[in-house]
Structure 1
Amino acid sequence: MEGAMGPKLLLTSVVAIALTLATAAMAQQSQAPAAPSAAVTTFDDKLVKIGEQAPGFGGMYFDEKGALQVYMKNAAELRSADAMKAARSQVTSAIAGVLGAEFLTQNAAAKGRAQEPNIIKGDYDVLELAKWKKSFGAALDGQEIVFVDLDERRNRVTIGVVGDPSRQRFEALAKSLGVPFEALIIEETPPIRFHASLRDKSRPVPGGVQIEIDTGVFAYKLCTLGFNVVRNGRDGFITNSHCTKNRGVSNDDDFHQPNDPLLSGNKIGDEDADPPYFTGGQCPSGRKCRFSDSAYADYRIDRGRFEIARTTNNVGSLTINSFPGVFRIMSETPDSMVGMRLNKVGRTTGWAFGDVRATCIDVNVADTDVRLLCQSSVARVSGTNKLTDNGDSGSPVFSILPTASQASLHGILWGGPDDGSSFVFSPMSMIEQELGPLTTFTAQQPPPPPPPPPTPREQCLRECNAERDACLADGGLGSQCIPAWRRCREQCPAQ
């Protein structure tokens, strides 16, 4: 076995190199398309809408007790009880109108009972902060800039930098942009990287387990299956775009669970949708951008349930619990809030948890020309285990509902710093604006629309894969079947 699978086993230990090679291959492709014409609504846009309906609104967060704290720029002027009551009513109505009435109940101590926000003094309103973030987002680039954030937790614009966060580096830039330096928080931050690539075969397939993606002959990536979905009436699952052979391009890649020994029968699906990266618009010069690191694959076996694998504990266990062995997804949370406690399950570090530290941050991914817009980050709780590592890419991110075996889906993890102290994920709102509506839990099931017909290229690639699989199943040698498969793919049309 060692002789036959040597190249493949060796690649596991150098998966970071494999990702570097994939990045190089992408650089040789045609230029990224222009910015999408359809407007994408980010969480910052929703905060601005609240600010337009409640003048002076400066951001909000859940504190350590789960209480909602709301910044108001004019809080000092609310001297009478009636004025404070009117302001609280106005901002509560605005929050419910933009984020939904359920937002005010999700972290409340009494289940289903809306909590009144506590108004605290803010120095700036979100309209100002959003404008300043946009100014800095276009002006700041280079590998030393990790992220730019409208920081609703601290009523500031926060800029994460690698190395020296000294005042001198940014004071002149702030002045040239017309931004008060006091409105900025400059903090040293480790680089955020794509994570490279529970490990036994699981049928039906739940979210959180290991998957293997073919990227060439004897080449592959190990990642984590995010969650099962119904998309355009078809059964499939979501993982990271950077886990595929070429991110931002649908190549009909083969997915296997947990791995792909020859003639194992472990194939579970084919890549079907991986939206392209774009340039221009919100994407600064020299970068290519997306709003989520997500790709969709069609199942070639029966779809797994809307569930996430549950391990024996939340401090890094990889062993699936005997009962209950899953978290059942019962709802989606489109956008998370600072202070929320979130969980993730991944093939490398298992089940771990942390608290939302920032939302809608624009992240420059280390060692690439990629900027991911409006992402969220989760920080480790002091004294707990490593949150994430290579191979956890694609992990489902979720909150646990009052019924402990039930979950609300928040998004998909794609990376973090090397020390595993935090992770970054794409929120559900961004994933579904790029991939379209997804059914992720049973209560959602709408009558499915008719599936779109495959493109000529998609149909050709599927036929090539079917011929290869039939060749191997009939006892053909890899040295015969694989070259024929490659020639078949080369003859497929470009579109």
Structure 2
Amino acid sequence: MTHRTWSLPLLLLSCFTGVAGVMGCSEEGEGSHASPPPSVALSAERLRDFAWGEVAMDANEQFAVIAEAVPGFGGLYMDQGQAVVFLTDPNTVEKAKVMLEPVLARMLAWGRDPAVPFEMPEFRFEQGRYDWNELYRWYETIGDVFSVPGVVLRDIDETKNRIRIGVSTEEARRQVEKYVTTAGLPVEACVIENVEPVRFTSDTLRDRWWPPVAGLQVSTPRMAHSGCTLGWNANHFVLGRGFLTASHCTDTQGGTEGTTFYQSQGWLPFDFVGTEAHDAPYYTGADCPSGRRCRRSDVAFVRYDTTRTTGRLGKMAMPLARCQLPQTSCGLDIIQNTTFLYQVANSTLPSALLAGIDVDRMGRTTGQMHGPLTYTCIDTDVAGDNFHLKCQYVIATRAAGGDSGGPVFVRHGTTSNVDAVGITWGATDELAYFSLLWDGENEMGGSGAISLQ
């Protein structure tokens, strides 16, 4: 199981720990609330001073912090430039706005062109039925919903103020309805949707470019006529220089067995780039659903053969085109000039990832595609095996075979600077799934284990 590292300001550490305690599993029914201790209640001043975008916590955890300071808070997301907030009590709108404005400003600071003046988005408050504490408690209660055959994902959907459960069959839908009722959740608090099972994306190749930068193709002898994408060049504090790609692109998914990687359609000696050096094993038990093998990321680290190359740290290919839906792929031509490359400015933490913001992903099959961040921190099974990935993120864009391992990032306006966000690993129709870079780093030794610059 991944052990997570925290870097909260000392002043707030006891407060956040209290929040985590409140959010555990509960047998209380609808409408019941655990009374948080006084230390949990965050004042407006403390909420304003919280280092949003810098503290290591996922989307569910950050909203739990907000919910302790904004009574009745039921979710926050971006919709066509507006900040949409669910509140259970419309009489608290003015107070909520005052408290959320500095929070939103910090969240949206990541990926913003510093040369462009910041304008606070307009708030749109909508009637919410459930506060985040209720949703979080119910979300934890149904952690074993994946025991129902055909369940694909579990999520707290901040855009609907509901628990979201994805199923692949009508029989699964019927069984989940029974499961939810037995677990004590109100049926109306859950949205049960038909979704396509998520599949890994790795089955094509493209041309070679040397020395490697993020976004280009890589392959292994096992792949033969298929391949993946080089995610981010990185320095590991123990293993040295290498790059990140998807774990399922290695010969054995989960566990380090020394897969060799090349940058060609095959395994010619002059195209050899490196050897798999770290790929966290899957775990069972604890918070892992029964019958599953779990991780928080599908990320592996490949150490460069330094006699051949060390890649280009902090650099990513810059395609000539950037596309979004309804286009299903983009041009693959890139500017082969070291003057025109994307530059990594920061590594974005999950607390800066708000549903509705624009996020890019790059792959050696579909090029550079972008779209709104649709779902945050969902737990999902992977089609065709018993792999289960926790707290994954989803972009409303396309990904295809060969895009696995590709970098996910947020652009700084029209500049060449980007914030590194994650690694692409899967897709369904018009949705691209990725693991957080932060979770991949934690599985490689904890916060600070890797550097992209």
User: What range describes the TM-score normalised by the shorter chain of this pair?
Assistant: 0.7 to 0.9
1:249 deviation in Å?
0.9
Are the equivalent residues in 2 in contact too, given 1:105–1:113 (CA < 8 A)? no
Does the residue aligned with 1:137 lie in a helix, a strand or coil? coil
Instruction: For 2:404 and 2:393, locate their aligned partners in 1 and report how far apart those are by CA, in whole Å.
Output: 15
Q: Which residue of 2 aligns with 1:157?
A: 163
Does the residue aligned with 1:359 lie in a helix, a strand or coil? strand
Q: Which residue of 2 aligns with 1:229?
A: 234
Q: Which residue of 2 aligns with 1:457?
A: none
Are the equivalent residues in 1 in contact too, given 2:232–2:452 (CA < 8 A)? no
Are the equivalent residues in 2 in contact too, given 1:358–1:376 (CA < 8 A)? yes
Alignment length, in residue pairs? Answer: 385
1:238 deviation in Å?
0.3
Q: Which residue of 2 aligns with 1:470?
A: none
Pair 1:307-2:315 in alignment: yes
* TM-score w.r.t. length of structure 2: 0.78
- Which residue identity lines up with residue 318 of structure 1 in the other structure? L
Are the equivalent residues in 2 in contact too, given 1:338–1:358 (CA < 8 A)? yes
Output aligned runs, 1:430-449, within 5 Å: 430-435=439-444, 436=446, 437-442=448-453
Does the residue aligned with 1:282 lie in a helix, a strand or coil? coil
Pair 1:207-2:211 in alignment: no
Instruction: For 2:189 and 2:171, locate their aligned partners in 1 and report how far apart those are by CA, in whole Å.
Output: 15
Does the residue aligned with 2:388 lie in a helix, a strand or coil? strand
Q: Which residue of 1 aligns with 2:66?
A: 50
Instruction: For 1:203 and 1:219, locate their aligned partners in 2 and report how far apart those are by CA, in whole Å.
Output: 20
Listed one character per residue, the Cα deviations across residues 21-48 of structure 1 (whole Å, up to 9, x for unaligned) are xxxxxxxxxxxxxx34657953212222
Are the equivalent residues in 1 in contact too, given 2:76–2:158 (CA < 8 A)? yes
Q: 1:159 to 1:400 in 2, by over 3 A?
A: same
1:223 deviation in Å?
0.7
Pair 1:124-2:130 in alignment: yes
1:329 deviation in Å?
1.6
Does the residue aligned with 2:143 lie in a helix, a strand or coil? helix
Q: Which residue of 2 aligns with 1:190?
A: 196
Q: 1:39 to 1:183 in 2, by over 3 A?
A: farther
Pair 1:343-2:360 in alignment: yes
Instruction: For 1:394 and 1:166, locate their aligned partners in 2 and report how far apart those are by CA, in whole Å.
Output: 31
Q: Which residue of 2 aligns with 1:67?
A: 82
1:332 deviation in Å?
2.2
Instruction: For 1:167 and 1:248, locate their aligned partners in 2 and report how far apart those are by CA, in whole Å.
Output: 31
Does the residue aligned with 1:214 lie in a helix, a strand or coil? coil
1:378 deviation in Å?
1.1
Does the residue aligned with 1:431 lie in a helix, a strand or coil? helix
Are the equivalent residues in 1 in contact too, given 2:111–2:410 (CA < 8 A)? no
Instruction: For 1:345 and 1:281, locate their aligned partners in 2 and report how far apart those are by CA, in whole Å.
Output: 34
Does the residue aligned with 1:52 lie in a helix, a strand or coil? helix
Does the residue aligned with 2:346 lie in a helix, a strand or coil? strand
- Which residue identity lines up with residue 77 of structure 2 in the other structure? Y
Q: Which residue of 2 aligns with 1:103?
A: 107
Output aligned runs, 1:448-487, within 5 Å: none
1:133 deviation in Å?
1.7
Instruction: For 2:268 and 2:440, locate their aligned partners in 1 and report how far apart those are by CA, in whole Å.
Output: 33
Output aligned runs, 1:167-316, within 5 Å: 168-197=174-203, 199-215=206-222, 222-232=227-237, 234-263=240-269, 265-300=270-305, 301-315=309-323, 316=330
Q: Which residue of 2 aligns with 1:28?
A: none
Gaps of 5+ in 2: 7-56, 324-329
Q: Which moved more, 1:136-145 or 1:241-250?
A: 136-145
Q: Which residue of 1 aligns with 2:349?
A: 334
Are the equivalent residues in 1 in contact too, given 2:167–2:173 (CA < 8 A)? no
Equivalent of residue 380 in structure 2, options 363, 379, 388: 363
1:413 deviation in Å?
0.5
Are the equivalent residues in 2 in contact too, given 1:192–1:416 (CA < 8 A)? yes
Listed one character per residue, the Cα deviations across residues 100-140 of structure 1 (whole Å, up to 9, x for unaligned) are x6314348896445557443321111111112122223133
Gaps of 5+ in 1: 1-34, 79-83, 381-386, 443-495
1:366 deviation in Å?
0.5
Does the residue aligned with 2:402 lie in a helix, a strand or coil? coil
Listed one character per residue, the Cα deviations across residues 47-66 of structure 1 (whole Å, up to 9, x for unaligned) are 222222333221110111x2
Instruction: For 2:86 and 2:171, locate their aligned partners in 1 and report how far apart those are by CA, in whole Å.
Output: 26
Instruction: For 1:342 and 1:284, locate their aligned partners in 2 and report how far apart those are by CA, in whole Å.
Output: 30
Instruction: For 1:59 and 1:280, locate their aligned partners in 2 and report how far apart those are by CA, in whole Å.
Output: 30
Are the equivalent residues in 2 in contact too, given 1:143–1:364 (CA < 8 A)? no
Q: What percent identity do the matched residue pairs reach?
A: 32
Higher CA-based Rg: 1
Instruction: For 2:96 and 2:384, locate their aligned partners in 1 and report how far apart those are by CA, in whole Å.
Output: 46
Does the residue aligned with 1:398 lie in a helix, a strand or coil? strand
Pair 1:133-2:131 in alignment: no
Are the equivalent residues in 2 in contact too, given 1:339–1:355 (CA < 8 A)? yes
Listed one character per residue, the Cα deviations across residues 241-286 of structure 1 (whole Å, up to 9, x for unaligned) are 11101111111221111344443x1111111111111111110110
Pair 1:415-2:414 in alignment: no
Q: 1:432 to 1:53 in 2, by over 3 A?
A: farther
Q: Which moved more, 1:284-293 or 1:174-183?
A: 174-183
Q: 1:73 to 1:108 in 2, by over 3 A?
A: farther
